[in-house]
Structure 1
Amino acid sequence: VWAAHVDSSHVVVERDTGRRGGLRVGTANVALALLSAGLIGALFLVVILLIDVWQLDPLGAAGVVSAIPIATYLVERAARGRSPLNLGGAGAIVLALGLSAIALLPHRQLGWMLLALFLCGAGLGLAFPTLSAAALNASGSPTMRAGRTVAARETGLVIGLLVLTPTFVHDLEAVPKKAIPEVAGAIFGSPIPTPLKIELGAGLLATYNNTPQAQLPDLGPPFSAVREKASGRERRHLAALRETLDSTVENKVTRSFRRSLLFSALFALLVLPVLALELAQARRRPAGATDTSTGP
C-alpha cells in the first residue's frame, strides 16, 4: 500500500511496511499466539474445574464463564483506537493476573472465580482486538491476511494444549496420594465404631486402586456399603464424614490446577518481552521508508 502526503512544497510517498502503531504484523501474530495459549487456562481448565470438580451443571458453568465475553466486550469498546503496543502489554498483564488469581484458589469460591474470569476477559478485551487489527494490516488479500491471523491463534491453542494437558494430568493423578493422609486422619478421628472405620477405609482404598488414572474416585459406594450396617446415629456421623472427605478431595483437586494455570499466565506474560523487543527495534530505526519528490 502506497500513501501520498501533500503539503505546500512537495509530495512525500511512503510504503506501508507492515506496521500498525509501531507494531509489525509478525510480532502481532506471535503475541496473539501466546495469548491464545494462555487462554487455554481460562477456558479449558476452568470449565473442567467448574463442572467436574465443583459439580456445577453445564448451564451454571456457562453462566460463570460468561464473565469473560462480557468483560471483553465492555473493555474492548473503551480501548478502541489506542496503541497496540500499549494495549497488548496491558492486556497480557491483566490476563495473567486473572489466571494467577484462579490458580491461587484454595477451595471452591465462586465469587473469586467470577472476579478472576472478569480480569481474564478484560485482558482479552485490551489485547486481542488491537493486536488482531495490527496482524490484519499486512500485504495480500483479506482472505490471506485473515488466514494467517487465524493460523497464529490456532497454533497458540495447540501449543497451550500440548504443554498444559500433560502437566494437568500429572498433577491430577497425584491428588489421591496427597489426599490419603488427610482422608485417613478424618476416618479414624470420626466418632463411628472401629469396625466401621476399618471397613470404610478398606472400601475407599479399593475404590482408589480401581479408579482409572486422571479420574477422581467415587466415594459413594464404600459409604453406601457401610451405611447399611450402621445405626441411625452412626449414619449421621457417616454423612458428616462423607461431607468432610468430599470437601478434602475437592480442595486437593482444586489446588492441582494451580501449576497448569500458572503456566497459562506465563504464556500471557511472554507477550511482554515480544512487544518490548519490537519497541526497542522501532526506536532504533526510522518509522518508515520515504521517498520525496518536489512538486510543481
Structure 2
Amino acid sequence: MHIVIAGGSGFVGNALQERLLKDGHEITILTRNREKITESNLLRAVEWLNPNSKPEKHLKNVDAIVNIAGESLNGFRWTKAKKKRIVESRIRATREIVRIIGALDQMPKVLVNGSAVGYYGMSDEDTFTEESKTHANDFLASVVRKWEEETAQAEKFGIRTVYARLGVVLGKGGALPLMALPYKMGFGGRVGSGNQWVPWVHQDDVAGLFLFAIENESISGPLNVTAPNLVKNNEFSKMIGRVLHRPHWFPVPSIAMKVILGEMSEMLLRGQCVVPEKALQFGYTYQYPKLELALENILR
C-alpha cells in the first residue's frame, strides 16, 4: 500500500514508519522540512504547511492517510502560548489533510487521524469504551473534541474515517524516560494518590493498531489505542521499580506536581480506565498486552 503520514518524524511516527517499512509498504511523509527525512526506495518526503506548498500535486495512488501531526503535550508547563499551539497545530494540520483529500485525483480508502483518550475526561472509578460519551470540559477533552470535529469533515468525501484515541505511549522516547528517571536515581514512588489509572500502550502496539485500522475495513469512528490490561499509578510505578531493580518508596505529593507543572500536572495526577474494546472485538493481537512485558522490553 501507499500510505501518507503527517507527523511521521515524531515519537509515534517513527515507530509507525519502522513497522510499515518492515512490512514493505510505500510511505510518503508530509513535512515542513524535507531535509530531515532520509529518503529511500520506499520512503519519500513531500513538503506541506509551508507557503505555496501543494502536496496534493505529489501524491498519487494513495491508499491511506495517517495524521498524527501536532504540538507535543509534553513540556514544563502549559502556558497560554503552549495551549494555543496545542490546539491550533492540530486544527491546522487536520484541516489541511481534509483539503488535500478533496484535491486528490484519487481519494484514499481510509483516514486514520490521531486523537487521545483525554476525550473521555478523568475518573478513578469509571471505565470507558469507544461507545462512552463525554461531558468533560477540561482542557484536554476540549482539544480532542475540536480535533475530532475537524477530522469528521473528511467523511463528506465518503472515505472511512478512524479516530485513533491514543493513551500514554511507552517507548524509548515520550513520557516513560522521565517516569523512570527517579527510580534510576534511587527515589521512585507513586505520583499523588497513586489511585489514578494509567491508560498505557507500547509504541509497537500503537504502530500495530494503526496498521490494523488501515487494513480492517470494518473499523471506523473511535478506536481506543490502549493496552488491554491497565493498572493504576501505584502499580505502574511499582512495576518500573521492579523491572529496574530499584526501591519503590518515595511518593511524589500532589501539591509538588501542581506547583512545578501547573495545569499540566492533571495528566499525571488524574487518569482514566480506557478499554480497547473495538481492537479486541475485531481480533487485534497485542505484542505487549501486559505492563511488565512492555517495561522489560523498553527499560532493559
TM-score, structure 1 length as denominator? 0.26
TM-score, structure 2 length as denominator? 0.26
Query: Which is richer in strand?
Result: 2
